[in-house]
Amino acid sequence: MCDNEREPAVDDLERLRHRIDDIDERLVDLLAERRRTVDEVVACKRARRLPVYHPAREEDLLSRRRRQAAVQGLDPDFLEELFRLILRQSRRTQSRRLTAEGILPGGRVLLVGGGGGMGTFLRRLFAAAGYEVRVLETGDWEHAGELGAGIDAAIVAVPIGRTEEVIRRLAPLLPEKAVLADITSIKERPVAAMLAAHGGPVVGLHPLFGPGLASMDKQVVAVTPGRDDEGCRWLLDQIAAWGAILMTTTPAEHDRLMAVVQGLRHFATFAFGRFLWRRGVDISRTLEFSSPIYRLELGMVGRLFAQDPELYADIILADDERRRMLGEYADAVREAAETLVAGDGDAFRREFREIAEWFGAFSEQALRESGYLIDKLIERF
């Protein structure tokens, strides 16, 4: 250690730098040892068909590392961020290893609409896992019987408005034991259509993410069982092996939840963007005076309008329940606006407190999570 009573000598500084270099080398060696251990974990998970992501295990690990950091006088937040990065790399490594060998060796998958965004995404994953992937597009129906022969799964990835028609047309061409699945953002009508048209295994799937991702790591896929869960098992195991989180629900509950999670959320974002457009707001100028949270919120609006309007029309207007909820939301906004235009601050504060109480503990969680996102945004911009 340097003598505090004198200027550090050059030799002292060099010696300390060498010590840091040695520590850094040991850190790299330990990370390499960790990676080799992860390879052993992959072999065990493949043998037991276990998913890549184990949320309880990861959260427990992070809690222990935070406690250890505090004991050692280190910043727990820094250690958590570091280990989240390590865990993310570990999951990616596991996903790559697990996708190198498919759950169903020699399996054949037919993607109906495989040329679209999500169809292309799935095509890449199945092909990387060693499956024979066949694609059926609008102009290929004269060869549909040939494409469907001997397949193990058919996945319908077409717009919502065409899904039921495609299911009815496709199902008679499939092998009896082939899994029939769809990936639309509604589930009641498609699952009912699949059950009526196909006597074999049926499952409804809804990837809650867009096709622009590099992997399924920690992405949620809603699963709505239809028929023959065991017959569908290999397909679900394959999706889990890619790192996805499978959330099982009924078609009815799925559609109720998605009316809020997707329909209402996207409509509110659309309405905000539409209002800015109608007002002729100078977005660039507002950003010069914006807080990070405004930039984040406006970023979500801009993200919506950077994508396909056909896709969002399908999502927002998917079914009657969603459209009814949008009407209720418009009424609620109108009522709130009337209170504010009237200048009734007491009513606003009273309702604000009631809503805050209803949100409960989630508000504190939201503060922490949004604070993290804001800090990352500040680092970048």
Among 161, 218, 200, 215, CA closest to 184? 161
State what percent of residues in the chain have pLDDT above 70.
93
Select from 2.30.30.100, 1.20.59.10, 1.10.2020.10, 3.40.1190.20 the CATH code of 10-99: 1.20.59.10
As a dihedral over the C-alpha atoms of residue 127, residue 132, residue 138, residue 142, rounded to 10 degrees, the angle is 170
pLDDT of residue 235: 97
Among 242, 268, 245, CA closest to 329? 268
CA distances from 321 to 117, 251, 325, 366 (A): 26, 13, 6, 28
Domain definitions of the chain by residue range: 10-99, 108-249, 254-342
Per-residue model confidence as pLDDT tens digits over 86-131:
888 887 777 666 555 678 989 999 999 988 889 999 999 999 999 9
Weakest mean pLDDT among 51-55, 170-174, 249-253? 51-55
Rounded to 5°, the CA angle 27-30-31 comes to: 85
pLDDT of residue 318: 86
Dist CA 195 CA 366 (whole Å): 40
DSSP string, 198-238: -SS-EEEEEESS-TT-S--TT-EEEEEEEE-HHHHHHHHHH
Helix (H) or strand (E) run with residue 220 in it: strand 220-227
pLDDT-derived band at 2 (thresholds 50, 70, 90) equals low
pLDDT of residue 8: 59
State what percent of residues in the chain have pLDDT above 90.
61
Per-residue model confidence as pLDDT tens digits over 253-289:
999 999 999 999 999 999 999 999 999 999 999 999 8
**pLDDT of 1 strictly over 60:** no
- The whole-chain average pLDDT of the chain stands at 89
- Number of Cβ within 10 Å of residue 26's Cβ equals 10
Weakest mean pLDDT among 20-24, 81-85, 174-178? 81-85
Weakest mean pLDDT among 52-56, 196-200, 262-266, 323-327? 52-56
Q: What is the mean pLDDT of residues 9-32?
A: 89
According to DSSP, the residues that pair with 224 across neighbouring strands are 204
pLDDT of residue 149: 96
pLDDT of residue 381: 65
Phi, psi of 218 (to 5 degrees): 60, 15
Contact 177, 212 (CB under 8 A): no
Dist CA 136 CA 139 (whole Å): 8
Contact 84, 59 (CB under 8 A): no
Per-residue model confidence as pLDDT tens digits over 359-368:
999 998 888 8
For tokens 């299911």, name the residue: 167
Rounded to 5°, the CA angle 324-220-90 comes to: 160
pLDDT-derived band at 5 (thresholds 50, 70, 90) equals low
4 residue type, one letter:
N
Does the reported pTM lie above 0.85?
Answer: no
User: Which SS3 state, helix, strand or coil, does residue 2 take?
Assistant: coil
**pLDDT of 46 strictly over 80:** no
Dist CA 319 CA 188 (whole Å): 10
pLDDT of residue 231: 97
pLDDT-derived band at 327 (thresholds 50, 70, 90) equals very high
Q: What is the mean pLDDT of residues 199-213?
A: 93
- Number of Cβ within 10 Å of residue 236's Cβ equals 23
Dist CA 123 CA 282 (whole Å): 41
Strand order from edge to edge, sheet including 132-136: 132-136, 108-112, 153-156, 179-182, 202-207, 220-227, 245-248
Among 56, 158, 45, CA closest to 95? 45
Weakest mean pLDDT among 71-75, 102-106, 153-157, 372-376? 372-376
Tokens of 228: 């023959």
**pLDDT of 144 strictly over 90:** yes
Do the two domains 108-249 and 254-342 of this chain adopt the same fold?
Answer: no
At the topology level, CATH places domain 254-342 in 6-phosphogluconate dehydrogenase C-terminal fold (1.10.3660)
Dist CA 15 CA 284 (whole Å): 51
Query: In CATH, what number does 108-249 get?
Result: 3.40.50.720
